[in-house]
Amino acid sequence: MSRLDAKICSRAEFRSRAFALPKPCVLTNGVFDILHRGHVSYLEEARKQGASLVVAVNTDSSVRGLGKGYGRPVNTCIDRIAVLAALESVSLVVEFNEDNASKIVEEALPSIYVKGGDYHDVDSTPEGIAVLGYGGRAILIPIIYNHSTTKILERVRKDTLISSM
């Protein structure tokens, strides 16, 4: 098994793998469709909050349910997971198919749950409520680089349209 594969976790083994990580454990979640500088800096900052970082990734069907727009996700879940697992800051990656990651939080019981600064009140998210419910912390990581996959795709589509004229 490669070092990358060792960081990828099935949902069935998730709880035991998460509990085995160094403490304090930090957990975040998201789509991470086209990995960009904003994602990488966010994940590095999230990891600084603890000794290990778990990233829960929306499955393809759950991404479609989020209303991210036409053709999303661009990359399949397994490809998104593999790219995240290759990052030094990431300790473990798992997929989830629910509308939110509160069940993942309840399974892993991380000390800290983090979201990006584009969420204004992490405490009121389902995940924030779950982590606060057992005495953990929910924190926001400020956005350093104002990038988003949606903006990148809009720019690519616009440039493609212009160049095809």
In DSSP notation, 4-73 reads: HHHTEE-HHHHHHHHHTSPSSEEEEEE---S--HHHHHHHHHHHTTSSEEEEEEE-HHHHHHTT--TT--
The pair phi, psi for residue 149, each rounded to 5°, is: -60, -40
How much is the pLDDT for 36?
Answer: 84
164: pLDDT strictly greater than 70? no
* Number of independent structural domains in the chain: 1
Q: How far apart are CA 2 and CA 142, in angstroms?
A: 33
Question: What average pLDDT does this structure show over 48-64?
Answer: 96
In DSSP notation, 76-118 reads: -HHHHHHHHHTSTT-SEEEEE-SSSSHHHHHHH--SEEEEETT
Strands of 25-30's sheet in order across: 8-9, 92-96, 52-58, 25-30, 112-116, 137-141
155: pLDDT strictly greater than 70? no
Q: Using pLDDT thresholds of 50, 70 and 90, give the confidence band for residue 37.
A: confident
Q: How far apart are CA 139 and CA 146, in angstroms?
A: 19
How much is the pLDDT for 49?
Answer: 97
Element spanning 131, H or E: helix 126-133
Q: What is the pLDDT of residues 87-143, one digit of tens each?
A: 999 999 999 999 999 999 999 999 999 998 777 788 889 999 999 999 999 999 887
Token pair of 9 as six digits: 């976790």
Which CATH number is 106's domain given?
3.40.50.620
How much is the pLDDT for 38?
Answer: 87
21: pLDDT strictly greater than 70? yes
Q: Using pLDDT thresholds of 50, 70 and 90, give the confidence band for residue 35.
A: confident
Burial string for 36-46 (b: 16+ CB within 10 Å, else e) reads bebbbbbbbbb
Domain that holds residue 120: 3-163
Cα separations in angstroms, 36 against 30, 69, 101: 13, 18, 22
